[in-house]
Amino acid sequence: MVKVIMHGCNGKMGQVITRMAASDPELKIVAGVDARAQALNDYPVFGDISDCDAEADVVIDFSNAAAVDHLLDWCQEKQMPVVLCTTGLSEEQLKKVEDAAKRTAVLKSANMSLGVNLLMKLLQDAAKVLAPEGFDMEIVERHHNQKVDAPSGTAIALADALNGALEEDYEYVYDRSGQRKKRDSHEIGISAVRGGTIVGEHEVIFAGEDEVIEFKHTAYSKALFAKGAVAAAKFLAGKGPGRYDMSDVIQL
C-alpha cells in the first residue's frame, strides 16, 4: 500500500485524485495539505506542509507555483519523494527542482497523460524531418477560464521536445502583437486560449510550402491526469534521489 500526502488536496485535481484513491486498494491518501480550509476529505488536512506529521511514502502535488519552493525544501529535508505536477514554475524554481533531486526522488511532468507523453516522442521524429525542410512550428493550447498560468506547462514541454530534437536552437515567441516584422524561421510560436470548461487541448502545427501537418491532443476529463499521477506515485515510492519523468512510468 502506497501512502500519499496530497498537496493541494482541496483543488480541482486534488479532489479528482481523492475520489480515484478511494477505490484503489494499492494507494491511500494519509493526509492532505491545502491553503484553503474546507472539510471535503476523510483524511486529515493541514494548512502547511511543515505541520504535516503523517507517515507517508510520497507526495503528489497539484497546487500553485508559489507553493512549490516551500514544498521542495520540505521534501528535501524529509527525503520524501515528490510527484510534481504544478505548472508555471520560474527558471529559478526549475533550477531548485534539479537541486532537490540530488537529495530526494523528484518526478516532474507538466502533463501526466499517456497521449501527451507519446505525442512528445512523435513530434521529435516529425521535427527532425520537417524543420530542416523549412516548415514553421506553432503550438496552440486551449484551457478553462480558471487556469492561472499561460502558456500551459504542456505547451512549453512540447516546444522543449521539438527544440531538443533539432540541431539548431529555436526561440519561443508568445506574442506577436508588438512586432512589425515577418516571422523568423527559427521560432516556435506558442499561443494560449482561455475559456469555459475546456479541460486541455494542445495542437502542434507544422506549416510548410503548400502543405500543413497538425498533431492534436484533447483531454476530455481531469481523470486522465489523475490516473497518470497515481501511477507516478506508485512508481516513485521507495525510489532514491534523482530526476524522473513520465517516460520512466509509461512504456512509450
Ligand X SMILES: O=C(O)C1=N[C@H](C(=O)O)CCC1
Ligand Y SMILES: NC(=O)c1ccc[n+]([C@@H]2O[C@H](COP(=O)([O-])OP(=O)(O)OC[C@H]3O[C@@H](n4cnc5c(N)ncnc54)[C@H](O)[C@@H]3O)[C@@H](O)[C@H]2O)c1
* Residue ranges of the binding site for NADP(+): 36
What whole-number distance in Å separates Cα of residue 61 and Cα of residue 59? Answer: 6
Q: Is 96 a catalytic residue?
A: no
From the list 3, 78, 147, 227, the catalytic residue is 147
Closer Cβ to ligand Y, 104 or 111, answer by number: 111
Tell me the chain's radius of gyration from C-alpha atoms: 19
Task: Select the binding partner of residue 186 from ligand Y, ligand X, none (C-beta < 5 to 8 A, by kind).
Answer: none
Q: Quick one: what does residue 34 bind among ligand X, ligand Y, none, with the CB cut-off 5 to 8 Å set by partner type?
A: ligand Y
- Report whether 161 contacts 144 (CB < 8 A): no
Could you tell which of ligand Y, ligand X, none binds residue 143, using a CB distance below 5 to 8 A set by kind?
Answer: ligand X
| Distances in whole angstroms, Cα of residue 5 to Cα of each of 39, 119, 190 | 16, 30, 34
Can you state the angle between helices 12-22 and 223-236, rounded to 10 degrees?
A: 70
From candidates 52, 85, 127, 232, binder to ligand Y by CB under 6 A: 85
Which parts are annotated binding residues for NAD(+)?
8-13, 85-87, 109-112
109 binds ligand X (CB under 6 A): no
The neighbour count for residue 172, using CB atoms within 10 Å, is 16
Residues 108, 143, 217, 234: which is the catalytic one?
143
Among 153, 228, 230, 234, interactor with ligand X by CB under 6 A: 153
Three-state secondary structure string covering 114-138: HHHHHHHHHHHHHHHHHHHHCCEEE
Which residues make up the interface to ligand Y (CB under 6 A)?
7-8, 10-14, 33-36, 62-64, 67, 85-88, 109-112, 149, 225
List residues with catalytic annotation: 143, 147
